């Protein structure tokens, strides 16, 4: 008996950054492609991640600008902030981007199917009663916020809901110590809320360079965020004037809202992976090989749910590499070395390459160059804010293997540094480069004294 023909060459589950890129490129290469999405086009980044977050960061930074302007001669009261205006204008922008993603898929001929897809077998997908057969299936459903199990957890918000609250929370507790928690602490502090950020560990931003972590904590506290380390909520109770939160050290606080940002897990609960031989790794992410193939030959996965760098540009690169490998001439390989990243905390963090601890384990002796300084702007604004830059150099080869910055525009500056590090720039290359004056970025090419080795 002949096998049932395939409806599609590729069926993509999830229209986030990685899924859309894979579907669009595969379709442009001539593949018959379908993509299913049950929430919103563009995934986490466009809808409840990078894009709205950055818009809210811009909004929150105005308050600091209004205050600082007095030192430059500007007089008068600062404008009042209106939460509904920001929220609703953000919604309109996201809707515009959703439509763009649809057009990006439709242009090369990909078929968009609305609904939650689940696997029936390794080459069959069900989308709310519609059944499709595909030669290859790509899972790109991303991750989903995780809520810890504690009394009252149903009163906690996640990053999915925080952007669209009906009322602005004047008192906000943020639980978590990663970049998402830290970014939202800066956002709501800047918009005028009283913010407490609680983290169970000794120091937040685990995984970043220790100097960055310590310096950022110092600067965040200056902005008015109440950072509390070595503590975690143990219960939440609603009351007439807010939520009473009791911490593990038995201290209490009352807030209007609680944002939980304690991690994300693969969004795979109802995909029916049991109908295939797809396996998970020990961390609960989908296990794949270097070609994004799972332990089921016809099923692939990429993006956040495979447990690598959970960054939009990484998912885009993986989607591109997958499509060209499976439906084109190949040649596109994702290189995970020296991936730059930015944290839009206040102040910003930018980083690329090794942390100092990682570098010592990998290379042994290092030359460390470190600089703290007061940004030129604040010589007149009077604001007590400092910036920090750090270069990590392999002592034997003199190659620069890590660059870290805390300060304004860190992400913009570190993008250029990432190119230099990927090209193998040495400390001498940095030294011979003439700086742009007066800028913060020139500090990176004028560091001369070794801070430690």
- Whole-number mean pLDDT of the chain? 96
In this structure, is the dihedral angle defined by the CA atoms of residues 318, 324, 327 and 329, taken in order, positive or negative? negative
Cα separations (Å) of 61 from 188, 191, 227, 414? 10, 8, 19, 20
Q: Assign 2 a pLDDT band (cuts: 50, 70, 90).
A: very low
In a domain, 333, yes or no: no
Per-residue pLDDT at 332: 87
Q: Is the pLDDT of residue 160 over 50?
A: yes
Per-residue pLDDT at 451: 85
Distance CA 137, CA 125 (A): 8
Q: Is the pLDDT of residue 1 over 70?
A: no
320-340 average pLDDT score:
95
**Which two tokens mark 305?**
């749910």
> Which of 262, 295, 310 marks a domain boundary?
262
Distance CA 213, CA 316 (A): 28
Per-residue pLDDT at 331: 86
In a domain, 334, yes or no: no
Q: What is the CATH number of the domain that holds 230?
A: 3.50.50.60
Distance CA 15, CA 423 (A): 33
Q: Helix, strand or coil for residue 446?
A: coil
Q: Helix, strand or coil for residue 195?
A: strand
Tokens 């160059």 belong to 369
Catalytic residue among 155, 167, 404, 437: 437
Q: 131 and 34, same structural domain?
A: yes
Backbone angles phi, psi at 305, to 5 degrees: -80, 0
In a domain, 1, yes or no: no
Beta strands (DSSP E) in 256-338 are: 257-260, 264-266, 299-301
Share of the chain residues as helix, strand and coil, in percent rounded to the nearest 5: 35, 25, 40
In a domain, 336, yes or no: no
In a domain, 452, yes or no: no
Q: 374 and 400, same structural domain?
A: yes
In a domain, 453, yes or no: no
Q: Helix, strand or coil for residue 148?
A: coil
**Which of 48, 283, 267 is closest to 142 using CA atoms?**
267
From 221-225, 231-235, 370-374, 449-453, the region with the lowest mean pLDDT: 449-453
Write out the H or E segment, with its range, that includes residue 411: helix 410-422
The total of structural domains in the chain comes to: 3
In a domain, 2, yes or no: no
Tokens 């050290």 belong to 249
Q: 138 and 161, same structural domain?
A: no
Q: 412 and 358, same structural domain?
A: yes
Q: 136 and 25, same structural domain?
A: yes
Q: Helix, strand or coil for residue 139?
A: strand
Q: 255 and 185, same structural domain?
A: yes
Q: 294 and 248, same structural domain?
A: no
Which residues constitute the domain of residue 237?
153-262
Q: Is 437 a catalytic residue?
A: yes
Q: Is the pLDDT of residue 453 over 70?
A: no
Yes or no: say if 367 and 393 are a contact pair by the CB < 8 Å rule. Answer: yes
Q: 78 and 35, same structural domain?
A: yes
Q: 197 and 118, same structural domain?
A: no
111: burial class by Cβ within 10 Å (0-12, 13-18, 19+)? middle
Per-residue pLDDT at 3: 57
Q: Assign 84 a pLDDT band (cuts: 50, 70, 90).
A: very high
**Which two tokens mark 45?**
């980044």
Q: 139 and 179, same structural domain?
A: no
């Amino acid at each position: 008996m002949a096998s049932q023909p395939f409806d599609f060459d590729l069926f993509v589950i999830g229209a986030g950054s990685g899924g859309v890129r894979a579907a669009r490129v595969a379709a442009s290469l001539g593949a018959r492609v379908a993509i299913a999405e049950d929430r919103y086009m563009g995934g986490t980044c466009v809808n409840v991640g990078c894009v709205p977050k950055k818009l809210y960061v811009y909004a929150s930074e105005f308050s600091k600008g209004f205050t600082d302007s007095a030192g430059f001669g500007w007089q008068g009261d600062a404008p009042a902030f209106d939460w509904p205006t920001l929220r609703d204008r953000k919604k309109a922008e996201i809707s515009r981007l959703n439509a763009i993603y649809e057009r990006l898929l439709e242009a090369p001929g990909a078929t968009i199917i609305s609904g939650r897809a689940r696997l029936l077998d390794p080459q069959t997908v069900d989308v709310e009663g519609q059944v499709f057969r595909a030669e290859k299936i790509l899972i790109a459903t991303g991750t989903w916020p995780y809520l810890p199990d504690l009394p009252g957890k149903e009163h906690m918000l996640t990053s999915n809901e925080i952007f669209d609250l009906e009322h602005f929370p004047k008192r906000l507790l943020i639980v978590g110590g990663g970049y998402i928690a830290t970014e939202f602490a800066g956002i709501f502090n800047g918009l005028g809320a009283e913010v407490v950020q609680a983290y169970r560990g000794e120091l937040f931003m685990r995984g970043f360079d220790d100097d960055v972590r310590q310096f950022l904590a110092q600067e965040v506290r200056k902005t008015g965020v109440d950072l509390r380390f070595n503590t975690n909520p143990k219960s939440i109770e609603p009351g007439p004037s807010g939520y009473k939160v009791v911490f593990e050290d038995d201290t209490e606080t009352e807030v209007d809202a609680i944002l939980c940002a304690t991690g994300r897990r693969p969004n795979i609960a109802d995909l029916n992976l049991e109908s295939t031989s797809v396996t998970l790794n020990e961390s609960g992410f989908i296990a794949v090989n270097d070609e994004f193939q799972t332990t089921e030959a016809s099923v692939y996965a990429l993006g956040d749910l495979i447990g690598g760098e959970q960054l939009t540009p990484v998912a885009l690169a993986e989607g591109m590499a997958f499509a060209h490998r499976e439906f084109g001439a190949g040649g596109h390989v994702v290189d995970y070395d020296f991936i730059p990243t930015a944290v839009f905390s206040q102040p910003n963090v930018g980083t690329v390459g090794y942390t100092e601890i990682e570098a010592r384990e990998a290379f042994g002796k290092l030359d460390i160059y470190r600089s703290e300084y007061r940004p030129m702007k604040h010589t007149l604004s009077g604001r007590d804010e400092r910036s920090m830059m750090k270069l990590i150099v392999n002592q034997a080869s003199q190659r620069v293997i890590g660059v870290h910055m805390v300060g304004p525009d860190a992400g913009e500056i570190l993008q250029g540094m990432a190119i230099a590090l990927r090209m193998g720039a040495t400390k001498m290359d940095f030294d011979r480069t003439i700086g742009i004056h007066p800028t913060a970025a020139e500090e990176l090419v004028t560091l001369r004294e070794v801070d430690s080795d």
